Amino acid sequence: MYLEPSLTTEYTTALSSGATVYAKVAEAVADEFRTGHQALLRDASHLDVDIVAKVTAVVKNGASSYIACKLLEDDDNGASTDLSECDTILICGNINAEGAPIPDAIAYDPTKWYNYTQIFRTPLEITRTAMLTRLRTTDSYKEAKRESLELHSIEMEKAFLHGIRTENTGSNGKPERTTMGLIPAIRAGASGNVNDFALNSDFSGQTWLQGGEDWLDNYLEVIFRYGAQDKLAFVGSGAMLGIQKLAKTYGNIQLTPASAGYGIKILQWITPFGVINLKTHPLFSFQASTRNAMLIFEPAMLRFKYITDTMFKKDPAMKLAGFTAYDGTKEEWLTEAGMEYHHPTKFGFLTGFNTDNSV
């Protein structure tokens, strides 16, 4: 905080209402202010100092940008300090005189996100003899078709969780794209919401029971800062076991059975920051590396975008003869699709549940 536009004389003595002071800020901060804004000048360590002022000028000059503020009250609110320790300036409204002209507008550049669709193909191949062989169990062709659709869905789901966004040229010289999955999207857009208890140095040497509850509180507070106070979490069986151990040990965690849409059974975990609807995910539990993981997100912030929704491409030439005739059929399931994500700061990916810290 300074006493003149040259930013040479620092603010050291409390001033009265009507005095003008100059807050030195980064240009990115100055971009958010305009003349006529109502500003709150604050010492983040002493909130009793808070002073309300009117912005009278904004000058942008890189790291030496400043906001001129006319004090609307005496600088005597603080019990032990004053604006000489001011380190925060916030917009808390705008001030306009009767009959004044329209003030200058402020525009913001959005954070641009994009993704690609990916072509997923799962083949189904069976010989004529196998198709016509009578089995004690289900029809071999129908079972192969069912199984290939299941594999098609599983591979798509894994890509929507773990894939990265790429665009390359395939071996045939045509474009080849992969879609970004939810977990890489969180790592790219909200890296502070991703953590592993086993590798967190703040809990060095602690067992899961010693530090797990505090670790969860710290990161759930961060994840729930933005968005809805009701989120969905996919968890592995190991992560669920870790939560259950904390609940049994400390009695501070309440898990309540509930039902989501379509009769899906979930566990509601009511935390001080919001409600997490826990759903054990088979793909997480099956794979050892994700068994102790939790993926938190808001389904309303995800969109399934497709060029071609899942379709079955049947072989029409099975009964045709010719030089390249094949004694059987080769068909496929095909989908060209990707995921659209909104506001990954609302999501989180936590790992290391039920695992002792190793650093």
Assess whether 168 and 43 both reside in one domain: no
Assess whether 179 and 98 both reside in one domain: no
pLDDT in tens, 119-167: 999 999 998 888 888 877 778 889 899 999 999 999 999 999 999 999 9
The residues that bridge with 251 in the sheet, in sequence order, are none
**pTM of the predicted structure, to 2 decimals:** 0.86
pLDDT in tens, 251-267: 888 888 887 765 678 89
Measured in degrees and rounded to the nearest 5, phi and psi for residue 340 equal: -110, 130
Instruction: Give the span between the Cα atoms of 2 and 68, in whole angstroms.
Output: 9
Between these two residues, 282 and 262, which has the higher pLDDT value? Answer: 282
Instruction: Give the span between the Cα atoms of 249 and 147, in whole angstroms.
Output: 43
Assess whether 40 and 77 both reside in one domain: yes
Assess whether 331 and 357 both reside in one domain: yes
Helix, strand, coil percentages in the chain from 3-state DSSP, rounded to 5: 30, 35, 40
Percent residues over pLDDT 70 in the chain = 98
**Cα-trace Rg, the chain:** 30
* CB-based contacts of 253-259 (< 8 A; 24+ apart in sequence): 253/213
pLDDT in tens, 37-57: 999 999 999 999 999 999 999
Query: Which of the listed residues 57, 75, 109 is the one where a domain comes to its end?
Result: 109
Query: Which of the listed residues 92, 109, 126 is the one where a domain comes to its end?
Result: 109
| Buried b / exposed e along 193-203 (16+ C-beta atoms within 10 A) | bbbbbbebeeb
What's the structural domain count of the chain? Answer: 2
pLDDT of residue 111: 85
Contacts of 86 (CB under 8 A, 6+ apart): 1, 11, 23, 41, 42, 43, 49, 51
Work out the pLDDT band at 322, boundaries 50, 70, 90: low
Q: Is 260 within 8 Å of 278 (Cβ atoms)?
A: no
**CATH number (domain holding residue 104):** 2.40.33
Assess whether 120 and 260 both reside in one domain: yes
pLDDT in tens, 180-232: 999 999 999 999 999 999 999 999 999 999 999 999 999 999 999 999 999 99
Assess whether 134 and 103 both reside in one domain: no
Assess whether 267 and 237 both reside in one domain: yes
Work out the pLDDT band at 273, boundaries 50, 70, 90: very high
Residue 74: domain span: 1-109
Mean pLDDT, residues 82-93: 96
Query: Which of the listed residues 109, 127, 146 is the one where a domain comes to its end?
Result: 109
Assess whether 201 and 160 both reside in one domain: yes
